[in-house]
Structure 1
Amino acid sequence: MANTTLILFGFGVLMLLLTLGVPVVVSLGLTSVLGVGLLTGSSDVAISILSSTAFEALRDYVFAVIPLFILMGEFVARSGAALDLYNSINRLMRRVPGRLAVATVLGNAVFGAIVGVSVASAAAFSRIAYPAMCKAGYDKSVSLGCIAGSASLGMLIPPSILMIVWGVLTQQSISKLFLAGVLPGIALALMFALFCIVYAIIKPEAFGRKPELAGADAGTASRDADLPPLSKSELIGTGGCLVMIALVLGGIWSGMFTPTEGAGIGALLALVLALIKGVRWEGFVEVIRETGKAAAPIMCLLIFAQMYSRLLALSGVGGTVQTFVTGLNMDPGMVLLAMVLVWFVLGMFIDSVSIILLTVPIFVPLANSFGIDPYAFALIGILSIEAGIITPPFGLVVFTVKGCVNDPAVTLGQIFWGASPYWMMLLVLALIVYFVPPLATLLPAIL
């Protein structure tokens, strides 16, 4: 009982620190170290456990996968290949209603298979797709909502940083988690694209077209005038992205190399593509700097997350929570619904990685005790978290889009409103995965 009281107190301190705006990495670190010190009765023991945890975490081979995949994405973004990819898909969609919105969704799907980070996708397509949509007369809420909403594909379609962190924390196979995300990722991209097409047919004026151009002609007017043939550079950029995805993911799934080796090969291929596309020394320096800025907080969070896991193990709070919930005789669906609500609400306030680090050590054992498939559970969790980060009041992706758009007339309210159909579809897909687990478990079971 004393341990449980101590943990509840520590959790209250953690929530207070987060509410006061203290960074998650600092809040989690202070709470974990303080909690271990109080449980063991020795600050020396707490510091010793922290140092051994940091050493074990940073020397672990699998942790290198995170900065390497981020490096790969930075090289691709810096080379301009993301713009080439968008332009290529835009041309393929020229006869599709709302083609620019659909191209944004599909572009985010492919780009997400390279960067694995929703915020990176949102930043890239805010600069790439929004100017094109403005030029075509799109409604600002529609265009920015599409960019923010479809950026969530970056955390679902492999390689996903969230899946890597989830796999590290739960000791699940990262390559199988990648496989689990393929079918739901494709399904989500199709749901987003279909929504844009139907919306463009129903309300063509929001997509820059007059009502009389609705239906088969919506989005096709002046297509020959504003869509010149692809240049050689655009073909190289698009082809390079597709080859990179095929080699990296194909190699991981075929067993030719591990996820960490695949990330290294992907980073090398991205470096070659950047050289071909004309990136020079200053660009490489910027890529390394941005990779460090993105990877360092995640690595620090992982260190303190392992410390947090040790705190939970020492206190026995995981078993206490499991016993308490089991004693309520709740249906597994109701338990899962409660978890989804927690993820969704947390997603409104803090970043995705932090949410996983805070909740997964408690939620995963609980889900296992109720017989929920671990791969389906991982996908449901990631979908719920991603839904939260595009909802008010502090949706991280929405704030990223706002910060990257050079348009003072755009308001956060417009972006949140435009993104609302997308987070609803994320939650719908989470529900589908729960009732149809093979959507997430089929490929991991086969390969």
Structure 2
Amino acid sequence: MATLIFCVLALLLVLVFLGVHVAVALGVASALGVYFLLGSADVALSVLSGTAYEALRKDIFIVIPLFVLMGGFVSHSGAAKDIYTISNRAFRRIPGCLAVATVSGNSIFAAITGVSIASAATFSRIAYPEMVALGYQKSYAVGVIAGSACLGMLIPPSILMIIWAVLTEISIGALFIAGLLPGVLLAICFILYCIITAKMNPQTAPPCPATFDADVSPAQRRSEWVSGIAILGLIGIVIGGIWGGFLTPTEAAGFGALGAFIVGLLKGMRRKEILNAIYVAGKTTAPIMILLITASMYSRFLAMGGAVGVIHETMFSISENPMILLAMIFAVWLVLGMFIDSTSIILLTVPIFAPIADLIGVNPLAFAIFGILVIEAGLLTPPFGLLIFTVKAAVPDPSVSLGMIFRGAIPYWIILLFVAITVLIFPFLTTWLPQNLL
């Protein structure tokens, strides 16, 4: 049995590293594994099809497209640019003001969209031209855009948190609230880095001129503040509703999407923009849902074959020291982050690693936030950091190279891992708010 389990897992990893789509790799490995376990192709297909059907019936999955749609309406309405402009004005006297505004804008946008890739694409088009026009060093500008986009998966609502919660049966609301303090800590660390770098080397990030943003009309300022107030209202509905126990995550996602649609109409969004936002939401959500279906099949194979127990015994035979076990998990996530996306890493590893963390006494909320931070760091890791490629594709400047973006993002990668380890050492950062507010 152990030999079959490790052969199937080896096949899965080989397919992934050969470039086969993770959903296909999961489906093939799971089908072969269940077939060899049961000895009948018909029974194996019946088991797997039943698993897929049950996965699709889970109403909690509607949260994912609704939150993505909420972010799409906000982005297509132009409200995201208004958030950035307001942040610029608020921080114009601080060294590295536009970089600080990018981090702040991403923090607010993260509380709406829940997808790092969307944040990177949006702020590449909004923030990069502003920073370059003011004389910012290009690698510094693209670095802050790529780095701060990681906030999209930590500050709730987060798609990764939803997937993690479904896999581990943790409360989505508790996990959302658990991410607030680490998310704020991460944003503060990013801002401090931006300020210190700009202070030490003014050529990297020149100060804003005294006349910066002086020619803005009163009508434009009113429009910006309407966006700001509306977005704060949306955040209040989603996070406040879950926080106060008035709304379930599914209800909060529904109200959030409806509220974002109304904001878009008030901002002048018309039929073309509405349909485009819906299309983008579907395009983003469909691969995730397919992954979730095949991941359910993969989890069924792990359960039927006792794979989790076998892998646990193997890891504990190497060492029973909790620090060494966590270091092994940390290393696996970093390596996988070099090659595949965050959602796939969670689906591949969390069913195996979460029970290990529970056995060695790590708080489930702290482990979830720790894992999301480490896995999110993979989006900035060469050779296939997805956020790096997203910024490259979205930045309106052909002279920006991938190497330039990777170099600019290195400090944010280090900060991400620092905050991840901090969360593991001080788990109260993730448990205090859920314990006192839920």
Name the TM tier (shorter chain): over 0.9
Answer yes or no: is 1:276 the counterpart of 2:266. yes
Distance 1:47 1:147, change over 3 A: same
Q: How far apart, in 2, do the equivalents of 1:185 and 1:228 lie?
A: 34
The structure-2 alpha-carbon separation of the partners of 1:224 and 1:366, relative to structure 1 and needing over 3 Å to count, comes to closer
Q: Match for residue 123 of structure 2?
A: 125
Q: TM-score, normalised by structure 2?
A: 0.97
Alignment of 1:250 with 2:248, yes or no, is: no
Do the aligned partners of residues 48 and 244 (structure 1) sit closer, same or farther apart at CA in structure 2, a change above 3 Å counting? same
CA drift at 1:220? 5.0
Q: Distance in 2 between matches of 1:119 and 1:401?
A: 9
**CA distance, structure 2, for counterparts of residue 334 and residue 104 of structure 1:** 37
For 1:119 and 1:45, locate their aligned partners in 2 and report how far apart those are by CA, in whole Å. 40
Tell me the distance in 2 between the aligned counterparts of 1:189 and 1:389. Answer: 17
Count of matched residue pairs? 436
Distance 1:69 1:247 in 2: 13
User: Shift of residue 177 of structure 1?
Assistant: 0.2
Classify 1:13/1:96 alpha carbon distance in 2 versus 1 (closer, same or farther; 3 Å). same
The answer to whether residue 426 in structure 2 is matched with residue 436 in structure 1 is: yes
Q: Is the 8 A contact 1:95 1:220 kept in 2?
A: no
Structure 1: gaps spanning 5 or more residues: 210-217
Give, in angstroms, the shift of residue 29 of structure 1: 1.2
Q: Is the 8 A contact 2:143 2:406 kept in 1?
A: yes
Alignment partner, residue 276 of structure 2: 286
Which of 170, 177, 180 is matched with 1:179 structurally? 177
- Find the counterpart in structure 1 of residue 377 from structure 2: 387
Do the aligned residues in 1 keep the contact of 2:152 with 2:158 (CA within 8 Å)? yes
Q: What is the alpha-carbon root mean square deviation over aligned residues? A: 1.3
For residue 223 of structure 1, the aligned residue among 201, 212, 220 is 212
CA contact (8 A) 1:117 1:155 kept: yes
| 1:381 positional shift | 0.3
Q: What aligned pairs does 1:95-134 form with structure 2 within 5 A after superposition?
A: 95-134=93-132
Q: How far apart, CA to CA, are the structure 2 residues paired with 1:345 and 1:251?
A: 38
Q: 1:116 to 1:224 in 2, by over 3 A?
A: closer
Report the alpha carbon displacement of residue 226 of structure 1 after superposing the two structures with TM.
6.6
Could you tell me how far apart the structure 2 residues matched to 1:265 and 1:255 are?
A: 14
Percent sequence identity is 55
Alignment of structure 1 residues 165-244 onto 2, 5 Å: 165-207=163-205, 209=206, 218-219=207-208, 221-223=210-212, 225=214, 231-244=221-234
Which one of 361, 364, 369 corresponds to residue 374 of structure 1?
A: 364
Deviations 1:167-212 (A, max 9, x none): 00000000000011000000000000010001000011011x2xxx
Deviations 1:16-60 (A, max 9, x none): 222221111111111111211111111112221222122211121
Question: Which residue in the other structure is 1:259 paired with?
Answer: 249
Q: Deviations over 1:243-283 (max 9, x none)?
A: 10011110011111100110000000001011111111111
Note if contact 1:96-1:220 (Cα within 8 Å) is conserved in structure 2: no
Question: Which amino acid in 2 is paired with 1:341?
Answer: A
SS at match of 1:137: coil
Using the TM superposition, give the Cα deviation of residue 225 of structure 1 relative to its aligned residue in structure 2, in angstroms.
Answer: 4.0
Q: Does 1:327 align with 2:325?
A: no
Match of 1:354, as an amino acid? S
Q: Distance in 2 between matches of 1:228 and 1:422?
A: 36
Structure 1 residues 344-399: Cα deviation after superposition (integer angstroms, max 9, x where no partner): 11111111000000000000011111011100000110000111110111100000
SS in 2 for 1:407: coil
Contact 2:89–2:213 at 8 Å: present in 1 too? no
Q: Distance in 2 between matches of 1:224 and 1:364?
A: 49
1:420 maps to 410
Moved more, 20-29 or 60-69: 20-29
Q: Aligned AA for 1:88?
A: I
Deviation at residue 224 of structure 1 after TM alignment = 5.6
- The partner residue of 1:407 within 397, 403, 427 is 397
